[in-house]
Amino acid sequence: KLYNFLCKWLGNTMEGRIDKCQESGLELWRSLSDEFDSQAAQMLNAKMKLYQNPVRARGMDDLEHKFNKWEQLDRELGAGGSEFSVPDITKSIALALLVPHEVEQQFIAAPEGSLKTYQQQIAYVRQRITDDKARSMSAKTLRQANTINEVGTEQPRAVDEQ
């Protein structure tokens, strides 16, 4: 039954593999599992390279998106087991490659002990993203308020002038 189910599920995509298994569902399952495990390891290796060599954000507006993708890679690598756990020093180096140059300079110029550990750096980056979003929203709100005030600056004329 397993063999028939797998054949139906795979369709015509893997006829060669299906033929090699000689109608043994367990053998077909083992073959598919071996291939998946191999591909999973290759995918984790590729993700590790992307994680360790991120594309630098151009500015604060670009940072949030790239930072979120980079953290997602960290979670996916963590799911890969202990073989793919990334030491904090490597994370710190990769984070410095990800952030805009101005933030990286803050890591370097910070008083001794304040932005030296990965935990301090990641907290600082999160705070900078939050601050930038707040500044952006505040500026947008201010622009909208000014537009409303500009439209409403004309005082209504007196009834006798109309």
Using pLDDT thresholds of 50, 70 and 90, give the confidence band for residue 125: very high
Residue 93, class by beta-carbon neighbours within 10 Å (0-12 exposed, 13-18 middle, 19+ buried)?
A: middle
pLDDT of residue 19: 56
Which pTM does this prediction carry? 0.64
* Separation of CA 90 from chain center: 17
